[in-house]
Amino acid sequence: MEAITLLKRMACVTKSNQVTLVCALSTCGHTCMLHLGKCIHSYIFRYGIEPGSFISNALVDMYGKCASLVKARRVFNNTPNKNLTSWNSMINCYTLHGQSQAAISVFQELLQNRDDVNGITFVGLLNACTHGGLLEQGKLYFNTMIKDYGIELEIEHCSCLVDLLGRAGRFEEALDVMRKMSMQADEIVWGYFLNACKIHGRRDLGEFAAKKLVEIYISKINPDAWPAIAADVVAGEQRIIALEFGYTRLFHPDKPVTKAQTAISLATSEASEIVNEELARIEVEALAENAVTVHNALVAEVERDINATFEKELLLERQKIDAMDKMAEEARLNWRG
């Protein structure tokens, strides 16, 4: 939001550079403000700013996050001298919106045009396989990444594989991946595993995963969305401990949690389900209302600023013409005299 405001102020006094525009496009992508992103795209063409790979990649990312995949692909196709970031951005755009085959197709194009890939490339690929339910293909890419490309395993790759295996009901394989990881499984990995337990009704493993999550949250004091899932999987004390973080974070983010307070509100399974549904509804409605209000206000303000800028430039041009006409008239009178 601040990046957009600064960009509008700068547009009134000077021409923005590539770094400024990339930051603004990134903000538009994260806030899904497609109209503002299009305004910035038009600004780039209007002022003849060279759309190199730096800006082109930002445009692809912005259009992709705003679900405008056709425009993202068009910008990608028109980008000269695509770098690896260009290809990764396009793969992630399709992955973000569940178009697994399209993401894999871009990866095949990448291999035909370049020899280098990196860990980010395979994070996008593995996520694409997860969303598409492509278990065997995902496992193949995971092994290819290690054996053929020698890419060092990161926590993101392992979490993708755990998510892929868990959704397919391969719990033993998922646990084996976590045991063999060189780094300790974090809340993201255990969260994916817990979600898989919920999908397949594995209450025994779900309780185990919830305990792991509680240990991590207590050690980090960093609650996230996963405790709400734990409430639907685990019973008793684990349910209360796991859910209290999510409950307090939404209603009282600055207030410390006490187990007794949470137990009173969430003592039964029925109560916790009602609270979860109500929390989700309140949060979604608030976010939607706020996003629409902010979006409309910013669009109106940007349009006013753009019009004001053009009017200012037009006035300056008219003043220059009037000054030149005045000088010509004075010269004509002096010559006659």
Question: What φ, ψ does residue 225 adopt, rounded to 5°?
Answer: -80, -20
Angle at CA of residue 297, ends 296 and 301, nearest 5°:
115
Other Cβ atoms less than 10 A from the Cβ of 85: the count is: 17
The residue count of the chain comes to 337
Per residue in 183-207, pLDDT (tens digit) is: 999 989 998 998 898 889 888 888 8
CA dihedral 95, 101, 107, 108 (to 10 degrees): 180
The pLDDT of residue 50 is 75
Task: Measure Cα distances from 164 to 115, 177, 181, 221, 243 in Å.
Answer: 27, 11, 16, 28, 25
Mean pLDDT comparison of 42-46, 102-106, 149-153, highest-scoring range: 102-106
CA 18 from centroid of its chain's CA atoms: 21
The pLDDT of residue 291 is 56
Other Cβ atoms less than 10 A from the Cβ of 232: the count is: 16
Q: What letter would DSSP give residue 32?
A: T
Task: Measure Cα distances from 107 to 80, 115, 223 in Å.
Answer: 18, 11, 35
- The mean predicted confidence, pLDDT, of the chain is 76
Angle at CA of residue 316, ends 310 and 318, nearest 5°:
105
Question: Is residue 250 very low, low, confident or very high in pLDDT (cuts 50, 70, 90)?
Answer: very low
Comparing 204 with 97, the larger pLDDT belongs to 97
Question: What φ, ψ does residue 211 adopt, rounded to 5°?
Answer: -60, -40
Residues in CB range of 34: below 8 A, 6 or more apart? 28, 63, 66, 67, 68
CB of 65 closer than 8 Å to CB of 29: yes
The pLDDT of residue 115 is 81
Only one residue has tokens 């209302």, namely: 289
DSSP letters spanning 107-131? HHHHHHH-S---HHHHHHHHHHHHH
Other Cβ atoms less than 10 A from the Cβ of 62: the count is: 31
DSSP letters spanning 42-64? HHHHHTT----HHHHHHHHHHHH
Averaged pLDDT, 130-138: 94
